[in-house]
Amino acid sequence: MVGLVIVTHSATLAQGVAELVRGMPGPAVPLALAGGLDLPDRPLGTDAYQVQSAIAQVYSEEGVLILMDLGSAVLSAEMALDAFLPEKRARIVLCEAPLVEGAVAAAVQAQLGGSLEQVAGAARAALEPKILQLSPAAPQQPSRTSEEKLGSVEQRELRLVVHPRLGLHLRPAARFVQTATRFRADIRVTNVSAARGPVSAQSINGLLNLALRQGHEILLSASGPEAEAALAALQALAQANFGDEDQASTPAPEECRAAVEPPPSSCLQGLPASPGIAIGLVRLFRSPTPKIPAHSATNPQAEWEALCGAIEGTRHQIEAARDAVARRAGAASAAILEAHLLCLDDSALRDPARRAIFEERYNAAAAWQRAIQAMAASYGRLDDAYLRVRAGDVTEVGRQVLLNLLGEAACGPLLVEPGVLVSPDLTAAETARLDPELARGICTAFGGPTSHGAILARSLGIPAVVGIGEPILTLAEGTPLIVDGDAGRVWPNPDSDLTAESNRRVEATRVAQAQARAEAAGRAVTRDGQQIQVVANIGSPAEARAAMEVGADGVGLFRTEFLFLNRRTPPDEEEQFAAYRTTAETLACSPLIIRTLDVGGDKPLPYLDLGAETNPFLGWRAIRMCLDRPAFFKTQLRAIVRVAAEFPVKIMFPMIATRAEWRKARVILEEARAEVERRRGPVQKKIEVGIMVEIPATALRATRFAAEVDFFSVGTNDLAQYTFAAERGNPHVAKLADAFQPAVLQLIQMVVGAAHAHGKWVSVCGELAGDPLAVPLLVGLGVDGLSMNASAIPRAKQIIRSLDYAAARRLALCVLEVDTPEDVRERIRQQS
């Protein structure tokens, strides 16, 4: 397919054009943007390097069409062409067509499989419909040549009436053209009411040229071997309102019911996001969209104060949601909302909004929306998929502020009666507002299983299936629904047998959970005597007590970030010592593994100049940042060393990639230990120190690491992302970032083999560890421990006690031979 490049002086303009192009029905067109400059004080302009990169992103043998706004955009595009070899330059066209209309027309023609010349021609002709509609000239008369040509062969005719309220505008016209091109037929369209045409049904510009409005009668004339089928398909499209969502009239209730209720027991397939079975009625939810006023600011100071008040109101709401999640699911889960609080404090949002209010007389809502859109667009232009996901955080927070500012915020619960929440997608903040007593389950049309909303659903214990697609949104309010969060399946209008079987599963799960909680304090030992340590992931001292209450054997991952975020100065040694000691006291003699600080460019700290990075998830973060700030690093290490003198504490370094990093970290640790000893007397001589395995390079070199480290902990979330170069929050690639991928499991096996060969132990601390389906597999792979959210511990121990270790080993070997994560899950189910 021909690729498109949009070159504009404004990033916001480029995003707007892209939104129109991507809104066209049909297959996605390769599209790249080169809009604006990444300069805070001079954001308007064009850059030849950006244009060159954009061309490279979408280039193929089919060619690339470049559309530009004005002035230097043309010069930048011409300069970019010089970077390509002549054979490639021949397949790149700079087009003089109007930017917006040309981009949309070109996209539709590209979707139809048009050549580069045809796509360029469609773009150049894009203004004709507007010229004809607004021109005072006489209406176009039907072409006799066309009529004579059609008269030379057998023709079939069909008359239709245009019903959409807005007429046959761009999207329905695109559907019309896409339908017509599926058939071997020459189809001509005439606007009988306005005496325009005929034109080819395969020409988007020709169709728009007809200026078809609501109530206009159109004549379709078709010839060719599939003429009858083509007219039947176009008639069906017209009866479906040309696919336009803006219906001319409300269908009869019977028609609505027939359209939205699938046949009994039909299954919708999505992605499993949170385990469990849910049975309930559909409760539809759509995030409210703020309506931005257009008036100018007559009192800028009042507008600014209103905006600041809305920001503070949003802060209180996010903090309340964070605290509620922390109470129900722990601080680690609630930390997802910390990024939203950081957005509220970002001067890169506040300052542009303030300037727009005071200097350009924008009203507060319009100024804030512009700042949000510009920031989201700047993230969207970045090459790194990990950082682009921050655009979602910015947009979500921005929308909350706007709703508060405009008095449209809905801060209450999303559900007021029990049921299954059905929505296009759920943000983290919206999921945090769910009451698990009312939310029987969650179904979303979009999103991935490792999105922030999905992670919170798991933490709250709500069965969820995501990425189901638009059919889930056609269900009527109150439709009976069964949700299988383990298999990622949803059954609307289930029959009696399926309902009975699901009720049996729900009751069996309830009984098993009650039994698991009653037996949680016991050891997790397989039937043939293999003990597995089951420990907790925590994010604050308060969570340690909750973990022990549900049977944790200790803490396998203490995320220390909570001490460092959302503050203007770093915590000193005494504050850190108090937090770590409180946690260790709660655990008594149970082990505590403290992970050193894991932040970076994606989690900015105001008191550290981390700088801007193009790819912060692959950049200067975690241990890399700490090694370059040894004084800062040693403050944390001294606090841990002091606690280790009294309690069984271990230290874990995150994101270690090379033995040089590991050795440098050990040197700094020894320096910190010596400093404590000089100031406070003797300390623990031997502290066990291990590393996180989050990077494939670490797993591949595990044998070398195993000779020096005391233990390994595999972080499967990041390991899956880094192995497949797939950001888990991106719905286009979320399926790749699956910890059940055989490649990820093979890396875990390599780490286990290397560790055991040197007498070292291995745990898994990612989300995979707490997945009931994964527990037999991880035990079979030979891991010594599983570290998970506290709520998952009773069930995990129960599963381990039911296992035969030898059989689990055979399962693991079998699973490593399959090709897909779906096959892995199916093999586990077959043998469970």
Q: Give the pLDDT band of residue 230 (cuts 50, 70, 90).
A: confident
- How far apart, in whole angstroms, are the C-alpha atoms of residue 650 and residue 644? 7
Q: Does the predicted model carry a pTM greater than 0.75? A: no
Please tell me which of 1-15, 192-206, 436-450, 698-712 the model is most confident about, judged by mean pLDDT.
698-712
pLDDT category of residue 730 using cuts at 50, 70 and 90: low
Task: Taking residues 83-106, report their average pLDDT.
Answer: 88
C-alpha 580/C-alpha 586 separation (Å) is 10
pLDDT of residue 798: 93
Closest alpha carbon to 657 in 689, 700, 688: 700
Which of the four pLDDT bands, split at 50, 70 and 90, describes residue 542? confident
Confidence of residue 606 (pLDDT cuts 50, 70, 90): low
Phi, psi of 377 (to 5 degrees): -65, -35
Confidence of residue 137 (pLDDT cuts 50, 70, 90): very low
Q: Enter the DSSP assignment of 35.
A: E
Q: What angle do CA 497, 424, 428 make, to 5 degrees?
A: 105
Q: What pLDDT is recorded for position 264?
A: 40
Q: Are 162 and 215 in contact (CB under 8 A)?
A: yes
> Residue 268's beta-bridge partner residues?
490
Told to judge if 256 belongs to the known catalytic residues of this protein, a careful annotator would answer no
Q: What's the rounded mean pLDDT across residues 512-535?
A: 89
The CA-to-CA distance between both ends of the chain, in Å, stands at: 46
Examine the pLDDT at 250 and tell me if it is beyond 50: no
Predicted pLDDT of residue 232: 80
On the question of pLDDT at 48 being above 80, the answer is yes
Distances (CA, A) of 827 to 17, 415, 657, 664, 777: 46, 37, 33, 43, 10
Residue 355 banded pLDDT, cuts 50, 70, 90: very high
Helix (H, G, I), strand (E, B) or coil at 682: coil
Q: Looking at per-residue confidence, does 260 or 824 come out higher?
A: 824
Where are the extended beta strands (E) located within 587-698?
592-595, 649-653, 689-693
Mind giving me the DSSP string for 120-157? HHHHHTTTHHHHHHH--SPPPPPPHHHHHHHHTS--EE
Q: What is the mean pLDDT of residues 426-441?
A: 84
Distance CA 119, CA 3 (A): 10
Q: Is the pLDDT of residue 746 over 50?
A: yes
From the list 163, 216, 452, 626, the catalytic residue is: 452
Crossing angle for the helix pair 170-180 and 99-111, nearest 10 degrees? 30
The mean pLDDT of 242-269, rounded to a whole number, is 46
pLDDT tens, position by position, 752-772: 999 999 999 999 998 899 999
Peptide bond into 630 cis (omega under 30): no
* Poorest-pLDDT segment among 127-136, 273-282, 383-392, 613-622: 383-392
pLDDT score of 197: 79
- pLDDT one-digit tens code per residue, 654-682: 999 999 999 999 999 999 999 999 998 88
Q: What residues contact 551, with CB distance under 8 A and at least 6 apart?
A: 519, 520, 521, 522, 534, 793, 794, 797
Q: Given pLDDT bands bounded at 50, 70 and 90, which one contains residue 586?
A: very high
Question: What is the pLDDT at residue 282?
Answer: 94
Q: Which residues in 240-262 are b (16+ Cβ under 10 Å) and which e?
A: ebbbbeeeeeeeeeeeeeeebbe
H or E element, residue 439: strand 439-444
Q: Measured between alpha carbons, how far is 82 from 80 in angstroms, rounded to an integer?
A: 5
**Domains and their CATH numbers in the chain:** 3-126 (3.40.50.510), 138-249 (3.30.1340.10), 268-288+412-499 (3.50.30.10), 300-405 (1.10.274.10), 528-831 (3.20.20.60)
The whole-number pLDDT of residue 683 equals 84
- Is the pLDDT reported for residue 212 higher than 60? yes
Task: Please check whether residue 723 is in contact with residue 715, taking contact to mean a CB–CB distance below 8 angstroms.
Answer: no
pLDDT at 335: 65
The pLDDT confidence band at residue 441, using thresholds 50, 70 and 90, is very high
pLDDT, residue 297, reads: 86
What span, in angstroms and rounded, lies between the C-alpha atoms of 832 and 819? 20
The per-residue pLDDT for 610 is: 62
**Is a pLDDT exceeding 70 seen at residue 245?**
no
Which residue among 343, 443, 626, 765 is the active-site one? 765
Would the pLDDT of 569 be above 70? yes
Name the maximum alpha-carbon separation found in the chain.
Answer: 105
Closest CA to 649 of 596, 715, 717, 714: 596
Average pLDDT over residues 232-253: 60
- On the question of pLDDT at 741 being above 90, the answer is yes
Task: Please determine, for residue 587, whether its predicted confidence score (pLDDT) is greater than 90.
Answer: yes
| pLDDT on residue 389 | 53
Distance separating alpha carbons of residues 722 and 766, to the nearest angstrom = 14
Ordered DSSP codes for 799-819: HHHH--HHHHHHHHHHHTT-S
Reported as a pLDDT band with limits 50, 70 and 90, residue 153 is: low
Q: Provide the token pair at 612.
A: 């801007």
Q: Are 765 and 536 in contact (CB under 8 A)?
A: no
Contact 398, 372 (CB under 8 A): yes
How many helices (DSSP H) and strands (DSSP E) are in the chain?
Answer: 35, 24
What CA–CA distance (Å, rounded) separates 589 from 653? 22
CA distance 620 to 702: 22
Q: Which residue has the higher pLDDT, 749 or 43?
A: 749
Orientation angle between helical segments 11-22 and 364-380, nearest 10 degrees: 80
What is the reported pLDDT for 710?
A: 97
pLDDT of res. 131: 65
Q: Does the pLDDT at position 112 exceed 80?
A: no
Model confidence at 130, pLDDT cuts 50, 70, 90, reads low
Residue 730 is classified by DSSP as: -
User: At residue 288, does pLDDT exceed 90?
Assistant: no
Higher pLDDT, 534 or 265: 534
**Residue 256 predicted with pLDDT over 50:** no
As a whole-number percent, the residues of the chain with pLDDT over 90 amount to 36
The angle that helices 300-329 and 390-405 make with each other, rounded to 10 degrees, is: 120
Q: Three-class SS of residue 339?
A: helix
Average pLDDT over residues 506-535: 88
Tokens for 285?
């939810």
359 vs 202 pLDDT, higher one: 359
* Dist CA 511 CA 225 (whole Å): 64
- Does the active-site annotation cover 411? no
- Average pLDDT for 185-210: 79
Helix (H, G, I), strand (E, B) or coil at 61: coil
Tokens coding 451? 């999105």
DSSP letter for each residue of 183-242: SS-EEEEEETTTTEEEEETT-HHHHHHT---TT-EEEEEEESTTHHHHHHHHHHHHHTGG
Average pLDDT, the chain: 83
* Weakest mean pLDDT among 51-55, 400-404, 431-435, 813-817: 431-435
Note the pLDDT of residue 384.
45
Range in 161-170, 248-257, 615-624, 809-818 the model is least confident about:
248-257
